[in-house]
Structure 1
Amino acid sequence: MFAVTAHDLCDLVDKVIVHRPYGPAADRRDVVVFDCTRGWLHLAAASNRTLAVARTAVTGSHWSAPVSYDDAYALRGWLESCEWVHVEHCVDGGYPSLRFSEGTANLAVPVRTDSLNLAWRALLRTASRPASYVRQPIGLSSAEMALWQDAGPEIEVWHAGGRAAFLITAGPDFVGAQWPLPGGGNGDALAGWSLRARQFLHEGMPYEVGAVYADARGMLWRIPAMPAPGEEAVAVSADPASVVMPLATVLRIGGRLLKLPV
């Protein structure tokens, strides 16, 4: 459990919740992932072509909990009347949940165990690899980015020469150019972010927090959290039933677990 200001938590939700998938296959990707490490609470969400990750400093443990967008919106509204909120990843009534509390008021948000794994760390690692040519980062303001939203329903962004950052086209009848903010940026875009998977050993085998595994019977299991010293590791069935079982029991009944690819 850790405490965080309601303002900071609202800020995280607001930054990522607009990135929502759509289309026939959107249902199992329609989640906001609350991802906690010892030093940070991350919120991650993805649409069909965007990925957004926001974070705030906390003193927590290692766990990953996807929640539905509807529940994330409900949480956002509940936080409006709060100041400091305690956040706990727990099993509530036999089902994994996130419990948010302030004084006697509390809100339990169910974990979407049947969602697809949003491997945002792996996606960012891939996206941050430079191309064969190296360009300095381009500084833009959010207000300038918003200027392009009325250019057309779809826009194209082109590498630009000279001092321009990029060219924008929207169909055959619109073209524009964007110049960067003075100064620009330097260094690694992901400096200060830890993108290593959180793993722990159980009976000599590594298991990754948030990943989905299949047993010998074809049943899918999600590893929701890293066990604290002296605690027993658990797995949650990756289906709407959300059955919570000790990892040792899952291995005894279903045999060795195979991690599913991202």
Structure 2
Amino acid sequence: MSEPVFPLQITQLVKDFTTKRALDDFNLTLAQGEIAALLGPNGAGKTTLIGCLLGFLSTDEGSIRLFGEDVNKLTPHTRNRIGFVPQTMTGFTWFRVGELLSYLAEYRPANAPQDNRWLDWAGLDPRARIKSLSGGERQRLAIVLALRFRPDLIVLDEPVASLDPQARRDFMRLLPDYAHHHGATVLISSHIISDLENICDRFVIMRRGQVVLDVTKLVLQGQVRHLSAPPPESWGVQTLAPAEDGGVWVSGWLPELDNAACQSSLSVQMPDVENLFLDLSR
């Protein structure tokens, strides 16, 4: 029986720079249709990871496979299945918007399916020179270029940081709708955690080049709790991190422990992704 082919499979990845190990035995596998948040403080290795999985940076150890292919040996067909939105779009400043869209479309098969909702959302003047666009307009263009041809794997690095509130809200509504409709896999890095909490079904938290928590939204809501004090070992829960308020984050929580916590005068709270992230990142 053949092994499943995942859109993204990273195994024991190591990336060293001169004075720092940016990625240290990093592992991550995403299945078709997953929308995963990549979280971490500045310097955690998120941008390095994205650079490696897109082939922009070489790796020192480990492997990256996209749709079953080595990232350094991707076929043109597989490359066309990947969309990337950088934090800031640079280059192509001499083009007009419409010219760039037409120019890059020439690299796609003539019958390649398109999703023109992104063009409608961006609302860009096709006659405008890219050098005249604002930062937010360039970012909307970057999103159109990445998603217009219906990629199956979407990698986004701080995609909404320069968007105005309305454009950001509309994008965060369109992205999960697109992913669910097309069965696309999404890996999104952003510091706007409230956005990710609304659309992601999985949360991957990094610190110092390693994964410190990889959990689905269902497990997060069902088994992760904030306690006002450490619980007895006999409860069988795992301590994730101390909380800034003196409490503790735990995983493996069971409903029957609610009564035990009440009898022990322990306060139990549902998880808040932002506070959990901040405590795990300290």
TM-score scaled by length of structure 1: 0.29
